């Protein structure tokens, strides 16, 4: 019974992945909008204040293109060193 359960779970996972990879995708949600999420790894250039590197940083960015060369957006950044 346990083997049938694990086999059916694996078959379901393979089918779900096949469906996900065959769906049409876009890089952004809208044609004129954009969004970005990044992970940051920072290291100090001198040891006067901080002496160790840290990977606890993240930023969020999003905006909307009003014209081809002009966009409005916001940027939020957080890092703990």
pTM greater than the 0.85 cutoff: no
Comparison of pLDDT for 56 and 76, the residue scoring more = 76
Report pLDDT digits (tens) over 15-59.
Answer: 888 887 777 766 666 678 888 888 888 777 776 777 777 777 888
More confident residue, 73 or 45: 73
Q: Could you please report the per-residue DSSP string of 33-44?
A: EEEEEEEEEE--
Residue 1 vs residue 74, higher pLDDT? 74
Domain range list for the chain? 2-79
List of residues 6+ apart from 29 with CB closer than 8 A: 35
The more confident residue out of 63 and 21 is 63
Bin 27: left if φ > 0, else alpha if -120 < ψ < 50, else beta.
alpha
């Amino acid at each position: 019974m346990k083997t049938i359960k694990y086999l059916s779970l694996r078959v379901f996972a393979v089918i779900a992945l096949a469906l996900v990879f065959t769906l049409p995708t876009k890089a952004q949600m809208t044609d004129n909008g954009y969004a970005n999420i990044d992970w940051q790894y920072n290291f100090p250039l001198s040891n006067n204040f901080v002496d160790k590197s840290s990977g606890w940083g993240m930023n969020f960015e999003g905006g909307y293109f009003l014209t081809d060369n002009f966009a409005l957006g916001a940027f939020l950044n957080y890092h703990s060193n």
